[in-house]
Structure 1
Amino acid sequence: MPDTTRTSPPLSSDRPVAIVAGATSGMGLAIALDLSTTHDVLAVGRTAATLPELRVPGIRPVAADLTDPQARAMIAAQAERVDVVVHAAALGQARAIDDTTPDVWQDYLALNLVAPSDLTRLLLPQLRLARGTVVFIGSGASTKPVPGSAVYTATKHALRGFADVLRIDEAAHGIRVATVAPGQTDTPMLRQSINRSGTPYEPERYITVQSVARAVRFVVDAGEDVHLTDVAVRPRTELG
C-alpha cells in the first residue's frame, strides 16, 4: 500500500498538542488556526496540495487519507502527546434515497464514521495520559431528519451515538468527549450543495466557520470541573 502520509518537521514546543482531522478547508481550517494560538496543531488533510495555508507557526500539516487504516496508524504513531482531537473531516453531499448505491454508503461511512472512531481508538493511550478532550463535529442532521440527505444524516446520527458511548466508556480515564453540532455553515461543502439545488447562495444567512471554531474553543477551554457534552450551534435566524 502506498504511503499516504507526508509531514513537515516535528513541532518542538512544550505547548499542549491538538490533532485536527479535516483541517484543509471550512470548519476544520478555522479550528486549526484558532487552536494554533495556544496548542501545537497536527493539521490533517487529504493531499499536500491543500495544505499551504496551514504552514504557519504552531501548525504541522500532515497529508493523509483518513480512510486508509495505515495512514491513521501513522498519525497516531507520530503523536507522542495528544491533549485535544477534533474530527472535522466529512462528506456531506445531499443524496436522495434513489441516488445511492452500496459504494456511496461505504464512502460516507468510511470518512464520516469509521475514520474518526478508529483514529480515536488509536489515540486513546495518549488521550488517557493527558486526560484529553475529543471533539466530534456533528450536525443539525444528527438530531433531526434532513430531507434529501439520507446517507449524510445516517452517518451523523451514528457518529453522535459513538461519541455518547465513548464518553461513558472513557469516563474512568478522565477523557472528555463532546459533539459540536453546527447548523448551516458557510463552507465550500454547503455552497456546492446549495448551488446544485439551484437556490441562490446567501452566505450572510449562515454561521461563519470562525463561530464554529469559537464553539470548539469553548469546549476545549472548559475548566477541569466541567464536561461539556453537546453544543448546538445555530444560525441567528433559524432556517428551514
Structure 2
Amino acid sequence: MAVMATHVITGAGSGIGAAVARRLHERGDGLVLHARDAGRARELAAAFPGAATLVGDLADPDRLSWALSHQSPPDRVDSLLHIAGVVDLGPVGDLTPRTWHHQLNVNLIAPAELTRLLLPQLRAAQGHVVFVNSGAGLNASANWSAYAASKHGLKALADSLRQEEHAHGVRVTSVYPGRTAGPMQVKVHSQEGREYDPARWIDPESVATALLAALDLPRDAEVNDLTIRPGR
C-alpha cells in the first residue's frame, strides 16, 4: 500500500500557495500548512479539512525553532514548498533597514531556517524542497533592490542545498514565475502607481500546474530551475 505523501506549505492562504494546496488536497495528499498565528491557522484548517497546521512568524525567523519545538512537526515530509513571500518596492535611497530586514527575513532567512528544521524528515523521505522564487531572483530592476536581493539569495540557498543534499536523495527545485495575478501583484501595482488588470498576468493555477509537474517527476530526474513567463 502506497504511503500518502505529506507536504509542508508556506503561503497557502492566497495566490500560488492556495492553488498548490488546493490541488494537493483534492488528490488526497496530506497537508501541513504554515500559518503566522493561531487565527490564520484556524482559517487554513477550515479551508482545507483534514490539514494540519504549523504556527510561526516568518518575519521573525530567530523564533521559528522555538515555535516548532512547542508543536508537533510532521514525522514525514515528502515536500517542503516555500511559497510565502513579501514585497516592498522603493529606490535604494529611500529603503530603510526595517524594509530590508522584513523582506530578507520572510523571503530568505525563514525558508533557510524552516528547511534546516525539517531536513531530517526530508532526508528520511528522500523528499523535495521547492522554492518559489521570482523573475526578480534572476534580474533586478530599479526600485526592486531589496526584494530582488532576497530572491537572488533564495536562488543561492537552493543551489547550495541541491549540491549538499544530492547524496541524501533530496531534490531541490527553484521556480521563477513572472508576474502572477494575486494579492502581491495588487500591492506591486499600487506601489508602481499602475492600474491592476489580473487578466494580463499569469494565473496562479498555471504556476501550480508547472510546480506539481516538477514535484511529480519520476525519481530518475530532477527539475533544478523552472522559469514561467506570462503568455499574453
CA distance 1:181–1:169, change in 2 (3 Å): same
Contact 1:138 1:159 in 2 (8 A): yes
Range with bigger deviation, 55-64 or 101-110: 55-64
Counterpart in the other structure of 1:9: none
Counterpart in the other structure of 1:69: 62
**CA displacement at 1:54 relative to structure 2:** 4.7
Q: Any idea what the Cα deviations from partners look like across 1:131-177, whole Å, max 9, x if unmatched?
A: 10000000001111222110000110010011001100111001000
Counterpart in the other structure of 1:35: 24
Aligned residues: 225
Aligned runs of 1:182-201 on 2, under 5 Å?
A: 182-201=177-196
Q: Any idea what the Cα deviations from partners look like across 1:85-140, whole Å, max 9, x if unmatched?
A: 00011111212111211222111111111100111011111111111000000000
CA distance 1:104–1:137, change in 2 (3 Å): same
**1:94 aligns to 2:93 (yes or no):** no
Contact 1:39 1:58 in 2 (8 A): no
**CA displacement at 1:49 relative to structure 2:** 3.6
Equivalents in 2 of 1:38, 1:230: separation in Å?
Answer: 27
Equivalents in 1 of 2:161, 2:63: separation in Å?
Answer: 23
What TM-score does the superposition give when structure 2 sets the normalisation length?
0.90
CA distance 1:57–1:15, change in 2 (3 Å): farther
Range with bigger deviation, 188-197 or 46-55: 46-55
**Letter of the 1:18 counterpart:** H
**1:60 aligns to 2:52 (yes or no):** yes
**CA displacement at 1:23 relative to structure 2:** 1.6
What TM-score does the superposition give when structure 1 sets the normalisation length?
0.87
Equivalents in 1 of 2:15, 2:152: separation in Å?
Answer: 21
Counterpart in the other structure of 1:227: 222
**1:20 aligns to 2:5 (yes or no):** no
**CA displacement at 1:228 relative to structure 2:** 0.5
Q: For 1:228, what is the secondary structure of its paired residue? A: coil
Equivalents in 1 of 2:197, 2:168: separation in Å?
Answer: 44
**1:173 aligns to 2:165 (yes or no):** no
Contact 1:138 1:181 in 2 (8 A): yes
**CA displacement at 1:58 relative to structure 2:** 4.2
Equivalents in 2 of 1:170, 1:140: separation in Å?
Answer: 25
Counterpart in the other structure of 2:208: 213
Q: Give ranges in structure 2 of 5+ residues lacking alignment.
A: none
Contact 1:45 1:63 in 2 (8 A): yes
Overall identity of the aligned pairs, in %: 36
Q: For 2:93, what is the secondary structure of its paired residue? A: helix
Q: Any idea what the Cα deviations from partners look like across 1:13-60, whole Å, max 9, x if unmatched?
A: 951110001221211111111122242111112234445255223422
CA distance 1:122–1:61, change in 2 (3 Å): closer
**Letter of the 1:228 counterpart:** V
Counterpart in the other structure of 1:123: 118
**Letter of the 2:8 counterpart:** I
